[in-house]
Every structure is written in structure tokens, then in C-alpha cells.
Structure 1
């Protein structure tokens, strides 16, 4: 899966930033709080990028088959997505109800829209019929989402956000999130490799 590379690249960036903040020798307490708060933005970007790219790979795999071949859960998602598309845009790319409709229905930037945490990811996997080999519990991802949204919408300043967390807290959020995303990618990779997105008779 190409998305493993995305996890490695962005995960390395977050860890490098975390080590910089952890090793910073500064008496400016507000600066440290600001830098800690920024970690939530980087972490959320990591989470949404990896999850979105993984589901894009699912769509790419589904698009190699006809609509009739897809398992019922995926068909329902495709049809729901098509409802929100401009019919004029779809007519130009559809020759038949083939894999074209699957690819045309996917809008990468609308998949999670800033609301991704462990629960949302579990729910999305269930919608696609992706089996999970672990409980996928990660309270830290909810904390990351809330803080990222609070910062993005101006609910909290960076100083207000950063003062509530220690550097040790951030380290735990970072490494538990990366472990979580590795498990997630493993399950998605298995789903694609085993062609579990297809009806049993079509695989």
C-alpha cells in the first residue's frame, strides 16, 4: 500500500517536531505552549491524510470492477455519494454502471471534513465491511480532533491549548496514534488484497 509511505513521511515529521519541542531550552513559557499546541494540528493532519489516502486506495481497487461486482455495503456508499454530485459532471465520465461510477463518486476532501477520530474511523470501516483485528480504541485521537478544531475555529488560542498538556502527554498521543494507524493500514491492506470489497461470488 502506498499509504504506508505517507504514514512514514508524516509520522517522521511529527516525531522530529516533538523532539525539537522536547529538547527546547527556553524560559518563554508562552512560546512552549504555542509549540505544544501546534503538535495537535500536525497530528490531526497525519491522521486525516493517512485515513483519506487509505480509502482512496479502496476506491481505486473498487473502480477496477463493475458496480454489480461490489459488495452491498460499498454499493450503498457509492450511491449515497452519487446523490451529492452534479448530474452534468457525472454524465461526462460515465459510460455505464461500471467502475467509472465508483471513481466518479469519490471526493477525497469530503470524506472526513475535520471530524476524524478513532470512533469515526471504526464507523467508516464498518460501513465498508472492513474487519478490524483490534478494538481500535484510542481516546487520544478524540483529544487531537477536539484541539485541532478548537484551534482551527478560534475557540482556543495556541497558548490556551498548549497549557493543558505536558510534553509527555504529547509523546503518548503521537506514538499511540502511529501504532493505531499502522493497525488500521494493515486491516485496509488485507481488505484490498483479499478483494473483500467484492461480492463473494465476484471475487
Structure 2
């Protein structure tokens, strides 16, 4: 996989984690390619006790079960990576808010950092901030004497609840555009197929909820179809990282000041 230069330190950490995960998934798909392109497959192992050689034949049902596991790997790669990438935005904003408030206090003047942010992001943060004042959270604030004015950028934010197991291109675009003001652009003009990402989500959910058995989920796949899904996944995530890096580098999270 071609490396992407990431300027933001927090986003780069998420990207390096993605590279490691991608390598693991890529190794699995190399094994899938082998299974798809060979007949009468068996594996050999040496018994740990008596050191004798043993053989195990991999039948068609087992091959299909292994192939179906690929949907879980792909879905996990998409959700974990997208969550980490978006989380890096909030980590960056949290750091900037702390620096801003420190500077404001030194000048004996408080101008909340969120009012410097673009309208979509500001609206997202304020709505989440308001929801954080549930009865449970209010009791926690009272008993633990927590400061609830600052920081606002991450108040009520929890990356664990960004997607809740239903991520696809539509949801990613919805969060990127409506909540953050990010336009996801294909990396180096290499498009990804949203239908592939939806297929990954659908089959993953079917497997998780027992709608399909593992040997059934991949039974109708064409030769090389899983590899195409992996390619689309890679192109989607590369596009996500390059777009977020541009967003952070150009400070698109800030409100544009009209030129006079």
C-alpha cells in the first residue's frame, strides 16, 4: 500500500495504526487468494508431542467459512480506522481549545473557543454539550464537582458511539459533511465503490445476528470479488485520511472570516 504523508501528529498516529491493521488484513486476503486459485488444498503440521507429520484437508465448506471471515475483518478495519481518524479531529480541537483558553485567561478575557469554529462543527459540539446534562451526568457533576464549562469540544463526546455497528459510505459522508464540514475526495483520483462498503456492512450484520451461516455468506461470491471489496475499502480509508489531513492542515474547522 502506498504511504500517505500526514502532517497532523495525532492523525498520523491513527494512520500508522491503520497501516498495521491493513497489513494484517492484506496477509489474510493473500491466503484467500491462494484458497480461491488452488484445488485439493491440505496443510501439514508437526505433532507437538510425538513430532510426527500430520495432514489436514481443507474442504469447500471450510474455505467458504474462512472467506466469510473476511467480511468481519473488512468491517472492523473500516469502523476502527474511521473512528480513530475522526477522533484525531476532536483530540486536535481539544488541544487547541486548551491553548486558546489559557491565552484568554492570561488576558483576563474569556471568549469560548467554539465560537471560532465553523458553523456545522459548532452546532455539533453545542448539541452534544447540551445532551451531556442528563440526570445521570448532572448527579456525577454534583458529586464529583466536575467542571462542566470546559472543555466544550469533547464534552459528551465518546468515540465508542460514533457508528454503533452500522457504518457505510452514507453514514461516513453524513458525519463528515454535516457534523464536521469535511468533503471526502478520492485519494489520487482512485474512486471507491459505496456499494462494496454497503455489502460489507450488510453481510457483516447478517453474520453477527445469525441471519446467515459463515459457509453460506460467501457461497455466491465470484472469483476475486472479496479482493475487490478489499480494494474499495483501502481506497475509501486512504481518501478519508488524505481529506482529514487537508482539513486540519488548512484549518477548515475554523469559521471563515469574510473578506472586506
Q: Which of 17, 23, 38 in structure 1 is aligned with 2:28?
A: 17
Aligned length: 199
| Structure showing greater Rg | 2
Q: Is the partner of 1:94 in helix, strand or coil?
A: coil
Q: Normalising by the residue count of structure 2, what TM-score does the alignment of the two structures yield?
A: 0.70
Q: Which of 109, 116, 135 is equivalent to 2:167?
A: 116
| Match of residue 163 from structure 1 | 219
Q: C-alpha root-mean-square deviation of aligned residues, in Å?
A: 2.0
Measured after TM superposition, the shift of residue 180 of structure 1 is: 1.6
Question: 8 Å contact 1:117–1:141 — kept in the other structure?
Answer: yes
User: Which residue, 153, 172, 192 being the options, matches 2:228?
Assistant: 172
CA distance in 2, matches of 1:89, 1:192: 33
Classify the secondary structure of the residue corresponding to 1:105: coil
Structure 1 Cα separation of the partners of residues 76 and 89 of structure 2: 20
- Equivalent in 116, 122, 135 of residue 69 of structure 1: 116
What is the rounded CA distance, in whole Å, between the counterparts of 1:12 and 1:34 in structure 2?
21
> Given that residues 130 and 191 in structure 1 are in contact (C-alpha distance below 8 angstroms), is that contact kept between their aligned partners in structure 2?
yes
Q: C-alpha separation between the residues in 2 aligned to 1:187 and 1:93?
A: 36
Q: Name the structure 2 match of 1:187.
A: 243
Q: Is residue 150 of structure 2 the alignment partner of residue 94 of structure 1?
A: no
77-86 vs 87-96, which deviates more?
Answer: 87-96
Deviation at 1:22, TM superposition (A): 2.3
Mark the runs of 5 or more structure 2 residues left unpaired by the alignment: 1-11, 36-40, 43-57, 98-112
Mapped to 1, the partners of 2:256 and 2:193 lie a distance apart of 29
* Match in the other structure for 1:141: 197
What is aligned with 2:52? none
What SS does structure 1 have at the residue aligned with 2:26? helix
1:79 aligns with 2:126: yes
Which consecutive unaligned segments of at least 5 residues does structure 1 have?
Answer: none
Residue 166 of structure 1: how far off its partner (Å): 3.6
Shift of 1:89: 4.5
CA displacement 1:80-122 (0-9 Å, x = unmatched): 32344333456755353x4x12122211110011111112111
Pairing 1:43–2:74 present:
yes
> Shift of residue 17 of structure 1?
0.6
- Greater strand percent: which structure? 2
1:188 Cα offset (Å): 0.6
**1:148-184 Cα deviation digits (max 9, x unpaired):** 1111111111011121224500011101210121011
Residue 76 of structure 2: SS of its match in structure 1?
helix
